[in-house]
Amino acid sequence: MKILGLIGGISWVSTADYYRYINTFANEHLGGIEYPTCLIHSFNYAEIKKNNDTNDWNSTLNMFAEAGENMKRSGVEGIVLCANTMHLVADELEKKIGLPVIHIASATALEIEKKKLKKVALLGTRFTMERDFFTSKLKDRGIETIIPKDADRAYIHEVIFEEFGRGIFLPETKVKFLSIMQKLIAEGAEGIVLGCTEIPLLIKQEDFNAPLFDTTLIHAKAAVDFALGR
């Protein structure tokens, strides 16, 4: 079984879910008390957000590269970035450290393809919604992506950092998210990609009447498949 390196703390709230999911899914395949070997480097989220706010992605890349190199020296064979937005630097990170970075958007695209959907909506930080590092992976699979309107994007982005990143999940926030999602379905989306790893802590499939794609869950399963050589 390959050793996984989890780069987390972005935020710690969803990193905890990654660790739980990866151990749970691996054990389902291995049985007994078998669990995967993994290393976790958990960043101070405030340092990452400071880079985000100034669009200093190079500093974030260098921070991740240093963490990745340390993991590589410790025997890690594949990297899991425990956040959607941080995949903005995933391809560059992979080249920089010479280790596979298991891409959250590629894994999600495969799941959407299995459902035979051709048009989905994407929720996440404004970086995830507005940049093409996520949507390009879907486009490669023939999947069209739509995103919320400006005001809704601004709301989602703010809530992710001011509430979710602090472990705050309010009923009124859930109502607002569901309203935004219904508007996207009305615009032609056949499903919704929960493209921030904290959103699935607020919204569950039973809350909504169209397919939801929990990127945390999907990514964790892809990481286990990689570790098990599946």
**pLDDT tens digit sequence for 70-101:** 999 999 999 999 999 999 999 999 999 999 99
The kind and range of the H/E element at 120 are: strand 119-123
Q: Note if the pTM is more than 0.85.
A: yes
Per-residue pLDDT reduced to its tens digit, 100-140: 999 999 999 999 999 999 999 999 999 999 999 999 999 99
Domains, the chain, ordered by start:
4-103+218-228 (3.40.50.1860), 105-214 (3.40.50.1860)
Residue 151 falls in which region: left (phi positive, over 0), alpha (psi -120 to 50) or beta: alpha
How high is the pLDDT of residue 11?
Answer: 83
Q: Which of 146, 197, 200, 161 is nearest to 177 (CA)?
A: 200
The residue among 17, 69, 21, 20 whose CA lies nearest residue 41 is 69
User: How much of the chain exceeds pLDDT 90, in percent?
Assistant: 90
What pairing do the DSSP bridges indicate for beta strands 191-194 and 212-214? Answer: parallel
Report the distance separating Cα 51 and Cα 174, nearest Å. Answer: 28
- Side chain identity at 115, as an amino acid letter? K
The phi, psi pair for 9, rounded to 5°, reads 80, 10
Dihedral angle computed from the Cα positions of residues 211, 199, 92 and 6, in that order, rounded to the nearest 10 degrees: -110
